Amino acid sequence: MSKIAEIKKVKEWCKKIKAERNRVYAIERNPFQEEISWMRRFTKIEIDRPQSIADKYSLLYDSATDSLYEYINNSWRKVSEIEF
């Protein structure tokens, strides 16, 4: 599966969880650790949690921008869809 398809799959899952939970933000265990290789290092996925209080070892989903963010070099950076 391409990285673009993997990112889309994670985003769709985040949208589904957000709709089910109906809360300001949600914190879930990462169900993709075994399935998607670049997701192995994230223990949790945090949905709509502010960057200022989010766990730096989690993947962050922002529904306002429909983007995934990871913490790299002291800042939150958007997950790139570019394959290496």
Domain locations along the chain: 3-78
pLDDT of amino acid 35: 94
For 73, other C-beta atoms within 10 Å of its C-beta total: 5
Mean pLDDT of 68-77: 94
Q: Kindly report the pTM of this predicted structure.
A: 0.90
What are the φ and ψ backbone dihedral angles of 18, each rounded to 5 degrees? -60, -45
Residues in contact with 45: Cβ distance below 8 Å, sequence separation at least 6, in sequence order: 10, 13, 14, 27, 28, 29, 30, 58, 59, 60, 61
- Say whether pLDDT at 64 is over 50: yes
User: What digits encode the pLDDT tens for the residues 24-44?
Assistant: 999 999 999 999 999 999 999
- pLDDT category of residue 55 using cuts at 50, 70 and 90: very high
